[in-house]
Structure 1
């Protein structure tokens, strides 16, 4: 099969400024709350976003830069599609969202509540992504898009106003859009270490960073469904992460479920599997902390059944 490689540029300073203006205009800063994870630790509650995850930042930034009247198309494991649907409802844009047949029912149901065209295709995110790339319209990747990455970097801009450094910021790693945005911010700030946390059954980005090229791997099933999958050919995020400052690790489903239980009992907070990966890595002793610890809780969109099972089973 011939693989088409899109020409995607990395974010530039004007993308970061445009994203900051777009996000600040429409979203209130998410809270940081004290946590007993470590002395002085804080949780950055992206779970409080209107779509339940940080993805709304990149979606708003990307659609704000879209020429008026241009249709958009995207593929998503769920949260990005929901974010694009929300942003499209604010901008009045025409959007098609492609999801895999196995995408989270909770996320798909929310996408369907918006006036977008929803297409189900394939059994994996990879299948949905490849199909979406064949459809007409401007393609907005969940991770391989300069404006999306710039939108995710606004988490860092908010932290500038909320926390003094030095910091260790821990966040989940799927396709690398969030982590790339945080890395761009950290380079400007200069006193921040970034730690990215993958699912142990989906380590395509860390493998690509190590190899210096895009590597495709067999991907397993995980409660962290929002961060499982390979990355698009030509993806810019491994290169951005390879330039640092970032350290990469992974967590198992058992460690993620332990983190979900800990968040519920210690803080009364609900998170989805991917959203709890940073906490899971800290609890499992996989994060070396220097300065003040900030963990990004990236999303809360999980079905009641999956959440109940996570709380009651190891």
Structure 2
């Protein structure tokens, strides 16, 4: 298992710079007053393809040799990684296949196809996803770019928090959503090297809390098919992301479905940006744990904005 380093992050940032946005950081006095803390929202919902995963996908795709790239890339994804890999593959002009749960939001399936990739549907479970994906790779010989358990992907995701600490000084903590752990691992990689005094928190839905339970138990616990409004956070940790979580994360906090939806509505109403339920989990946990964050300067990573506007969770 190769563990990426700060050198890989610097290489990734240089490689992907032409293909990503340096996303803005937004604030809200009203939300600060509710939280009793200063919150700085790193808006990866405004990233290329609508999610932070454009960073890791672009690093993986543009790091391939011409010989590897000719066979294309493939992945399994509930949405954003597939969309972002399709985006990066389209930029390089190579084939891309994405295995997606049949229950994934139609907006995310449409987005993958919109970038020119092929969608192959599977049942909404990790076991089905991996079985169908194995068939795709056997048929195409494509390069597998894992949604999160991939050093190239983690190095790419790490560029987000690298930008954040350049944009905002004096942070006490950074919090990001956790599913498989790609963004959290990238955050750990950057901050443990460049700002080790900054605490790292992960935020997870109560109904898909396998990372929380893994963290408390000291080993990976994987749920096969959890049900939550935060559809991007249904996948389990893997060995590489677990390495970063267990070594560098301060704590994992959870929020209920109602708390997630309320936080999502709050950001839509007060910051006037579109973000998906997964992105609301950090704010939900901050508002639930006010004493923990009181008076602190907190970086909050809004991971994506690819939401189905015809099926908003409060409708």
Query: What is the TM-score of this pair, normalised by structure 2?
Result: 0.89
Q: Residue in 1 aligned with 2:64?
A: 66
Moved more, 17-26 or 220-229: 17-26
> 1:112-191, aligned counterparts within 5 Å?
112-134=113-135, 135=137, 136-188=141-193, 189-191=195-197
User: Could you tell me whether the CA contact under 8 Å between 2:38 and 2:296 is conserved in 1?
Assistant: no
Q: CA separation in 2, counterparts of 1:287 and 1:185?
A: 26
Q: CA RMSD in A?
A: 1.9
Stretches of structure 1 that go unaligned for 5 or more consecutive residues are 1-7
Higher fraction of helix: 2
Instruction: Give 4+ residue runs of structure 1 displaced > 6 Å after superposition.
Output: none
Indicate yes or no: 2:261 matched with 1:257: yes
Aligned pair count reads: 301
| Change in CA separation of 1:137 and 1:301 when aligned onto 2, cut-off 3 Å | same
Q: Deviations over 1:12-71 (max 9, x none)?
A: 333212211123232231000122333432111111012111110110111111121422
**The 10-residue stretch of structure 1 (277-286 or 152-161) with the greater mean CA deviation from structure 2:** 277-286
How far the C-alpha of 1:212 sits from its partner, in A, is 3.6
Greater shift, 158-167 or 41-50, is seen at: 158-167
| Structure 1 contact 10–145 (Cα < 8 Å) conserved | no
Contact 1:206 1:238 (8 Å CA) reproduced: no
Mark the CA change 1:287 to 1:35 in structure 2 (over 3 Å): closer, same or farther. farther
**Number of the residue aligned with 1:83:** 84
The residue that corresponds to 1:220 in the other structure is 226
Cα contact 1:53–1:301 (8 A) shared by 2 = yes
1:204 deviates by 2.3
**For 1:287 and 1:22, how far apart are their aligned partners in 2?**
41
Seen in structure 2, the aligned counterparts of structure 1 residues 156 and 75 have a Cα distance that, compared at 3 Å, is: same
Aligned twin of 1:269: 273
Change in 2 beyond 3 A, CA 1:142/1:157: same
CA contact (8 A) 1:75 1:99 kept: yes
Shift of 1:126: 4.3
Normalised by the size of structure 1, how large is the TM-score?
0.90
Structure 1 stretch displaced more, 140-149 or 60-69:
60-69
CA distance in 2, matches of 1:14, 1:169: 22
Q: Determine if the alignment matches structure 1 residue 193 to structure 2 residue 191.
A: no
**Does the aligned pair in 2 maintain the 1:212–1:239 contact within 8 Å?**
no
Query: Are the counterparts in 2 of residues 77 and 125 from structure 1 also a CA contact under 8 Å?
Result: no
Unaligned runs of 5+ in 2: none
In the TM superposition, 1:202-241 aligns within 5 A as: 202-217=208-223, 219-232=225-238, 235-241=239-245
Q: Match of 1:288, SS?
A: helix
After superposition, the Cα gap between the structure-2 partners of 1:303 and 1:96, relative to the gap in structure 1 and judged at 3 Å, is same
